[in-house]
Chains A and B, each alone.
Chain A
Amino acid sequence: MTETLKLDGPSREALLDRAAQGAIGRGLDRPEGPLKVTGQAGYAADARLDGMVHGVLARARQTGTITDHRLEALKAMPGVVLVLTDGIPRNPAQGAVPTAPPAADGVAYTGQPTALIVAERFEDAWHAALAYDPQITPVAHDLDPETAATVETPEDKQRADDGWQDTWDAAPTKVDVTVTTPSLTSAPMEPHAAIAMWEGDQLTLRGGLQMLKFNRKSLADALDMPVAKIRLLAPYVGGGFGSKLGVAQEAVAAALAAKQLGRPVSVVMHRRQVFEATMRRSESRQRIRLACDDAGIIRATAQEYRVSNLPGEAFSEPVARADRAFYATDKLKITHEIARIHRMAAGSVRAPGEAIGIPAFEMALDELAEAAGIDPLELRLKNTVEADPISGLPFSSYPLADTLKAGAKAFGWQHRPPRQQQEGEWWIGQGLASAIRGHFAAEAEARVSLTAQGAIVETDQTDIGTGSYAILRQITGEMLGLDPADVEVRLGDTAFPPAFGSGGSAGAASSGTAVLLACRALRKRIAASLDAAPDDLTLKDGHVIHGNRRTALAQIVPQEGWCEQGHVAAGDISDKVRTTTCGAMFAQVAVNAVTGEIRVRQMHGTFAAGRILNHKTATSQCHGGLIWGIGMALMEELHHDPRDGAVVNRDFAQFHIPANADVPPLSVDFLDAADDWGGPLGALGLGELSISGAAGAILNAVHNAAGIRIRDMPATPDKVLDALDKLGS
């Protein structure tokens, strides 16, 4: 029996509020943590299969048409067993796409993998891959989004309210700010990897993948085979951050090569390939205009931005949306331009859209506050809204003002004019930004088996380091009255019921709801066996309490156990309410007047994302977002060579992410309250919230410290010195 729920309205589960077992919300450790830190958790490339050979993707050094792969010499190299050039996709598939990744037509970007070289030993394959040098007839392409000949403006992504200009003209206070952000990368710790193995017409592929249900269909499409013949395994994924949403080159190539050779083939991307051939976050140029009245209420808002992608890619970084706003405004204008250029593909990188859109907007707000002579905290509080001012839809919950107030208190917000605090060479200042990120409901299925020993949860949901294993245990424990330690969670296998996967911060709420529904069905079974109504039962510590009787579950559950499925489907909630998460982030920074270096000294975030399922994993997620904000504000940038678009800094020595010394004490609080529209769990997506604005808090603090506005991210020492010079210091 499958317990099904379509999310069309409020559906909060009262049992979770009662929390008889006390499992939900607790900061429990990840059950798989010890496996990970002792090297026992098998990641995609860790398997050693009998007869396995190693494939290495080989890169093309320039864009154009390949006239000759020049394979003869490669095939003669020591250990090489196969060179494959047909069928390697141009770039990975986008997220939640059931179709094949785009086919290659020549070399669209420098560094594109256009061959797979398979050898008995990894070192031989790698050596041959480095030697790969196909003959290419170069084709001149646009490489720079600012000068690109093709710039698309899809109609549904634009907006220009009637009277925008009049409102703008009439407003007494306004700012016109342009913020630029560079190409960025997900750079997960685990490089993209796949091991493919065929048994007859059945393919088993171990991969670093985030969304197995979609990945399976996409791979089937790429290989032109039935979906049912593919089994994907991804029990552990070493980070994804969007870069493993879609099937990438290594998976398709491994499957093709394994088929040809009749042997298992392992393909692991080199770190440098992860940087140059998976997905980048598009660079952006964002012009933001804000106008407020004398009371500080925003009247006109314009966000005009340009992002880029390869021709044919449907994805474009949704920096701002044409159908919604999160602060007060009477009139909205959105311009969304997509420059078609031949840099590596752009796709979803953690919190696509908001991650760069909110910081830029929050920086513009800071400038508006200065122009209006209002404390930046005050300005935000004046402009918080109960309903989306554009669509008129009410928010299901949107306690932005509460997070701002609570966060300000926890941080000790006390805004001063710029350049009021100096310690030796350092200017000290503080800044804030709101965090805002949309939430959406997704379809998911799960199976839960209950035996006398405990429960087993099975779904193809992935855990990419986020805590799925932990929270699914807790939800099951709470619903069935079990110690979470007695719940085994099995993930990342398409033999299990399909979930949504890890994307858009939707994994926890969707797979968690499916698990909850399966547990509901099990509770019905228990109730039926006791001739009771499910609502009259209390399940706790492996016992059923009914009336004045307490019975061990082990005595009720039959030998073979019970097995139930849960299935949640997204209904029409999004037509009725806006589901959005929010928060407030505060940073204290020091800016060195001599060296131009910026150090973040303290950061705090208060976040609201419905019910918090596990305070520990949730806090870790938010730490990650704040740290990513430090990186985005201060150091992260893919350098494209203007001559060929290539990514120049394609390793961790050259692409800087925050090191320990860059990360100050971080504190995170939650306004933990179930959202009635967030399904039975009342939980909204959390993971991506805390990156969505964080860089803005830091750069606003830089202004408060040193009186300079760095609008071109990242704020590296050279840019800071330049700005200080212009300020006349």
Chain B
Amino acid sequence: MRPFDYRRAGDVAQATAAAGDATAAYIAGGTNIIDLMKLEVSTPARLVDISRLPLHRITQTQDGGLRIGAMVSNSAVAADMAVRQRYPLLARAILAGASGQIRNKATVGGNLLQRTRCAWFQDISAACNKREPGAGCAAKDGPNRMNAILGVSGHCIAAHPSDMAVALRALDAQIEVTAADGATRLVAMDDFYRLPGDAPHLETCLAEGDLVTSVILPPPTAETQIYRKIRDRASYAFALVSVAAALRMQDGRIAAVRLAFGGVAPRPWNDPAVEQLLIGQPPSKDLFVHAGEALVAPAIGHGGNDFKITMVQRLLAAVLREASE
């Protein structure tokens, strides 16, 4: 571990001012960044502690949605009554991740911005384009069971590890970001993460010093919300694949559906074409098979993760079946 400066920010302006260059990093719950610093995957010269920023509340928005402060712990989000009643998908996704202890420390902002668990990303002696642009990608020809099949490039096949973010995508959340100059903007989940392309080290739309301050949920539109995750043990494991669905039926047909997928892509994956294909249709086995086929049409397996291609289709069909019953 390298020596670093530590500053505790008292308010948002202090935080963004202290973190406005490439050598700084925020620390919230610290459950991800400290591990990465020990492994010297992250080597910030300055840690800006944002854990005491006044972003610890969950409040109603004027239009009937929810604003969740970036410092609210994962446990607190999952336990919140409004979340559990109106966005059960979010609570379930969070509870499907990590362990009780980690969720107590982990924050909403940190969860969104946690780094990939790709084994070679975490090993500074391995070739990894995400860590070191141009170095190569050790995962492509290695035992890549945990890596992605959708949205990948020849430069990087890392999967985004978050469960919470998958739920947020299916719930059409927006992310509130405050820049170093104090300007605040709202970013849709779909625009928040970048795909690796030829620059896998660039993961989000955030600029240096940008601080996630809140996550904003629109009023829920779908009465049926489901989160299912397949993993290698019953708890405390990252997703092999996961599916989040928010679905509304009307007159025996699928009136509205939002889907998102975890464990399969460098970001919470979504595919508008798959959603379009379902809308207006009566549920049927064939329809769900068709949706699954459309979903994986662009998928690329790299050997160790080929199984995800069929696994995600199965899980999608089961989730749609349950949601449309």
Contacts and interface: CB of A to CB of B under 8 A. Distances in A.
A635 B318 contact: no
Given A127-B40, A721-B314, A648 B1 contact: no
Given A425-B318, A595-B314, A721-B314, A654 B119 contact: yes
A648 B143 contact: yes
B235 A662 contact: yes
A599 interface: yes
A722 B309 CA distance: 12
Nearest to A62: B125
Highest count of chain A CB atoms <10 Å: which of B228, B233, B236: B233
Contact of B233 (A130, A634, A642): A634
A14 B57 CA distance: 70
Contacts, number: 84
Contact of B119 (A595, A648, A658, A661): A648
Interface string B239-279: 01000000000000000000000000000000000000000
B6 interface: no
B299 to A, nearest CB: 15
B312 to A, nearest CB: 11
B230 interface: yes
A642 B143 CA distance: 8
B208 to A, nearest CB: 25
Contacts of A640: 143
Nearest to A60: B125
B134 interface: no
Interface in A530-573: none
Given A718-B307, A718-B311, A721-B314, A659 B124 contact: no
A159 interface: no
B135 interface: no
A258 to B, nearest CB: 24
A169 to B, nearest CB: 40
Given A642-B143, A718-B240, A718-B311, A61 B234 contact: no
A649 B119 CA distance: 7
B97 to A, nearest CB: 12
Interface in A672-729: 716-718, 721-722, 725
B232 interface: yes
Contacts of A123: 1-3
Interface string B1-28: 1110000000000000000000000000
A639 B311 contact: no
Given A123-B1, A659-B235, A722 B119 contact: no
B232 A648 contact: no
Contacts of A661: 233-236
A121 to B, nearest CB: 10
A658 B141 CA distance: 29
A484 to B, nearest CB: 35
B205 interface: no
A597 to B, nearest CB: 6
A130 B38 CA distance: 10
Contacts of A722: 307
Given A595-B314, A718-B307, A643 B233 contact: no
A256 B228 CA distance: 54
A630 to B, nearest CB: 9
Nearest to A126: B1
A660 interface: yes
B117 interface: yes
Nearest to B240: A717
B258 to A, nearest CB: 21
B235 A597 contact: no
B311 A654 contact: no
Interface in B29-52: 38-40
A656 interface: yes
Interface string A119-133: 000010011001001
A594 interface: yes
A595 to B, nearest CB: 5
A589 B125 CA distance: 41
Nearest to B238: A653
Contact of B117 (A595, A635, A654, A721): A654
B234 A641 contact: no
Contacts of A639: 143, 145
A662 B311 contact: no
Contacts of B64: none
B1 A656 contact: no
B315 interface: yes
B197 interface: no
B142 interface: yes
A593 B1 CA distance: 46
Interface in A121-147: 123, 126-127, 130, 133
A659 B318 CA distance: 26
B310 interface: yes
A648 B146 CA distance: 11
Nearest to B319: A594
B52 to A, nearest CB: 25
Nearest to A639: B143
A595 B142 contact: no
Contact of A662 (B234, B310, B315): B234
Interface in B196-253: 228, 230-238, 240
A61 B125 contact: yes
Interface in B90-110: 99
A705 B2 CA distance: 53
A454 interface: no
Contacts of B237: 656, 659
B311 A641 contact: no
B314 A658 contact: no
Contacts of B125: 59, 61, 133
Nearest to B122: A651
B134 to A, nearest CB: 18
A595 B143 CA distance: 21
A596 interface: yes
A126 B234 CA distance: 34
B315 A594 contact: yes
A721 B310 contact: yes
B311 A659 contact: no
A660 B314 CA distance: 27
B124 A130 contact: yes
Interface string A588-623: 000000111101000000000000000000000000
A721 B313 CA distance: 12
A660 B100 CA distance: 11
Given A595-B230, A718-B307, A127 B240 contact: no
Interface in B59-102: 99
A658 B233 contact: yes
Interface in A83-120: none
Interface in B136-151: 141-143, 145-146
Nearest to B1: A123
26 contacts: A59-B125, A123-B1, A123-B2, A123-B3, A425-B318, A595-B314, A596-B230, A597-B231, A648-B142, A649-B119, A653-B238, A654-B117, A654-B119, A654-B146, A656-B233, A658-B233, A659-B234, A661-B234, A662-B234, A717-B231, A717-B232, A718-B307, A721-B307, A721-B310, A721-B311, A722-B307
Given A595-B230, A634-B233, A661-B235, 11 more contacts: A123-B3, A126-B38, A130-B39, A130-B40, A597-B230, A648-B119, A648-B142, A649-B119, A654-B117, A662-B233, A718-B311
- Going nearest first, the 5 A-B pairs with the smallest beta carbon separation are A718-B307, A661-B234, A661-B235, A659-B236, A594-B318
